[in-house]
Amino acid sequence: MEDRLKFRIWDNKEKRYVEEYLDREIMLSIDGTLNACAYDFSGNRSIEDINKNNRFEVEFCTGLKDKNGQLIYENDLIKIDDDVAVIKWSDYYARFMLESSEDNFDFETTYAEECEIIGNIHENADLLGEE
Position 130 scores a pLDDT of 60
C-alpha distances in angstroms, 78 versus 65, 67, 106?
11, 11, 14
Note down the domain range covering 12: 7-49
Position 129 scores a pLDDT of 72
> Smallest Cα–Cα separation from 34: which of 53, 16, 15, 17?
53
> Looking at the structure, do residues 66 and 96 belong to the same domain, yes or no?
yes
Residue 42 in domain: yes
> Looking at the structure, do residues 124 and 68 belong to the same domain, yes or no?
yes
Indicate the SS3 state at residue 110: helix
What does pTM read for this prediction?
A: 0.83
> Looking at the structure, do residues 83 and 124 belong to the same domain, yes or no?
yes
Alpha helices in the chain (DSSP H): 109-114
Give the mean pLDDT per block of 10 residues along the chain (131 residues). 76 91 83 85 83 90 93 94 90 90 76 90 85 46
Position 131 scores a pLDDT of 46
> Looking at the structure, do residues 68 and 15 belong to the same domain, yes or no?
no
> Smallest Cα–Cα separation from 85: which of 72, 68, 70?
72
> Looking at the structure, do residues 68 and 38 belong to the same domain, yes or no?
no
Position 48 scores a pLDDT of 84
